[in-house]
C-alpha cells in the first residue's frame, strides 16, 4: 500500500512550467532522498505536495493515503493536507514577528487535535510536552518564547523545523534542505530527530545536496531531479556516485 503517489505531475508558477512530469511513489516506512542541481524544481515539488497556493497543477495525479484509501489531494487546501499528515520543513524557514514560537506550535498542534476530535491542549500542558522534545535537539527553552524564527541563526531555524515536525508527528515529512547550513553536531542532531520519529507508519522525503546527511539517515531510494523531471532513481549508492562524479554524466545520459 502506498502513502503518496505522484503520477506524471506537471505544475507551473506564473505561467512557467517548472515540473514537467514527475513520477514518485512513497510507501510507509520508506525514506526517499531527492537530489539535483540548483533550480531543478526540488523545492517546487515539495511545495506542490504541501499545497502552496502559488503553484498550479496543470496535469497528472497527486494522491495521498487518508484513512487507508488513496485520495486525490490536489484540490485540498494546504492546511487540510497538513491536518491529514503532510509536513513541510522549509528550505528557508519564515520569520514571524509578534508571534511566539510556542504560540505558533500550540496553534498548529491544536489544529491537529481539533481535526482528530481530540481535546485541545492548554498552555501549560503544551509547554511541558514541548520541553520533553528540546534536549534531543539541543535547544534551550528560551527559543520557545522568542518570536518564530526571528533572529534565529540559520542552523537554529532548521532545528526549529525539526522541533515542529516532532510535535506534529506527521505521516509524511518533506524536509527541504534541512541539512543545509548545519554544523556537524547539528547535522547529527537533526538526523537523530528524524531517526527517532521514523516508524513503519510514516515516511520521509529528504531534499538534499549532500551525501553527508545520508550517512546518518539511510535512504531507501535516491532520485535525481533535473529541469522538472526525475532523470534517475536508484538506491543509496547513487548518492555516493553523484558525490564523486557530479551531475554532468547523468544529464548527458538523460539526453540520449
Partner 1 sequence: MSITEQVEKDFSTLESSKENLGLFLQKGLPTKKNELWKYTNLERFWQEFDLSKQQKADLNAIEKDENFNHIFFVNGAFLPAQSDLEVQSGATELTSLKHELKELLANESVFHLVESQTQNQYLLTLEGVQEKPVLIHNFYTSEHAKHSSAHLHVLAKANSETTIIESHTSEDTAESFINNAVSFLVENNARLSFIKTQELGEQSVQVQNTRALVKRDGQFESFTVDAGAKLSRNNISIRLDGEGANCAAHGLYVLGDTQQSDTNSFIHHNRPHTESSQLYKGIMNDKSHGIFTGLIRVEKDAQLINSDQLNKNLLLSKGAHAHSRPQLEIYADDVKCAHGSTTGQMSDEELFYFESRGVPRERAQKLLAQAFAYDVVLKIKNKTAREYAQQVLKKNFKNLKVE
Comparing CB distances to partner 1, the nearer of 68 and 97 is 97
By CB atoms closer than 10 A (0-12, 13-18, 19+), residue 67 is exposed
Question: Going by C-beta distance under 8 Å and a sequence separation of 6 or more, which residues neighbour residue 162?
Answer: 89, 137, 178, 189, 190, 193, 194
Do 164 and 101 touch, CB atoms closer than 8 A? no
211 forms part of the interface with ligand ATP (CB under 6 A): no
Do 163 and 135 touch, CB atoms closer than 8 A? no
The three grid cell numbers given for residue 55, joined into one nine-digit string: 503553484
Applying the rule CB under 8 A, the residues between 161 and 180 that interact with partner 1 are 164, 168
Q: Which residues bind Mg ion (CB under 5 A)?
A: 42-43, 91
Q: How far apart are CA 184 and CA 200, in angstroms?
A: 28
Comparing CB distances to Mg ion, the nearer of 134 and 231 is 231
Question: Going by C-beta distance under 8 Å and a sequence separation of 6 or more, which residues neighbour residue 73?
Answer: 51, 62, 63, 64, 66, 80, 81, 84
Among partner 1, ligand ATP, Mg ion, none, the one that 5 touches (CB under a kind-dependent 5 to 8 A) is none
For the bound state, the minimum distance from the C-beta of residue 54 to partner 1, rounded and expressed in Å, comes to: 7
Among 9, 24, 36, 90, binds partner 1 (CB under 8 A): 90
Among ligand ATP, partner 1, Mg ion, none, the one that 16 touches (CB under a kind-dependent 5 to 8 A) is ligand ATP
40 forms part of the interface with ligand ATP (CB under 6 A): yes
56 forms part of the interface with partner 1 (CB under 8 A): no
Comparing CB distances to partner 1, the nearer of 146 and 236 is 146
Applying the rule CB under 6 A, the residues between 6 and 35 that interact with ligand ATP are 13-14, 16, 18
78 forms part of the interface with partner 1 (CB under 8 A): yes
HSE-CB at 220 with a 13 A cutoff on CA atoms is 13
208 forms part of the interface with ligand ATP (CB under 6 A): no
Binding site for ligand ATP (CB under 6 A): 13-14, 16, 18, 36, 38-44, 54, 91
Amino acid at each position: 500500500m502506498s502513502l503518496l503517489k505522484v503520477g506524471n505531475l506537471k505544475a507551473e508558477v506564473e505561467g512557467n512550467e517548472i515540473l514537467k512530469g514527475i513520477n514518485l511513489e512513497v510507501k510507509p516506512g520508506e525514506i526517499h532522498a531527492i537530489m539535483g542541481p540548483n533550480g531543478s524544481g526540488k523545492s517546487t515539488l515539495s511545495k506542490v505536495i504541501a499545497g502552496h497556493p502559488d503553484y498550479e497543477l496543470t496535469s497528472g495525479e497527486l494522491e495521498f493515503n487518508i484513512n487507508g484509501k488513496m485520495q486525490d489531494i490536489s484540490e485540498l487546501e494546504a492546511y487540510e493536507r497538513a491536518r491529514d499528515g503532510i509536513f513541510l520543513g522549509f528550505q528557508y524557514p519564515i520569520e514571524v514577528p509578534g508571534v511566539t514560537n510556542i504560540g505558533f506550535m500550540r496553534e498548529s498542534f491544536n489544529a491537529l487535535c481539533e481535526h482528530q476530535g481530540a481535546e485541545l491542549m492548554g498552555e501549560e500542558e503544551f509547554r511541558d510536552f514541548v520541553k520533553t522534545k528540546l534536549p534531543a535537539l539541543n535547544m534551550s527553552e528560551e527559543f520557545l518564547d522568542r518570536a518564530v524564527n526571528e533572529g534565529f541563526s540559520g542552523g537554529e531555524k532548521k532545528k526549529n523545523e525539526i522541533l515542529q515536525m516532532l510535535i506534529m508527528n506527521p505521516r509524511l515529512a518533506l524536509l527541504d534542505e534541512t541539512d543545509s547550513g548545519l554544523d556537524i553536531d547539528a547535522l547529527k542532531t537533526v538526523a537523530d530527530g528524524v531517526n527517532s520519529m521514523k516508524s513503519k507508519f510514516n515516511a520521509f522525503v529528504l531534499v538534499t545536496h549532500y551525501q553527508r546527511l545520508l550517512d546518518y539517515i539511510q535512504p531507501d531510494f535516491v532520485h535525481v531531479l533535473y529541469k522538472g523531471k526525475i532523470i534517475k532513481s536508484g538506491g543509496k549508492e547513487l548518492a555516493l556516485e553523484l558525490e564523486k562524479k557530479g551531475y554532468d554524466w547523468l544529464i548527458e545520459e538523460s539526453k540520449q
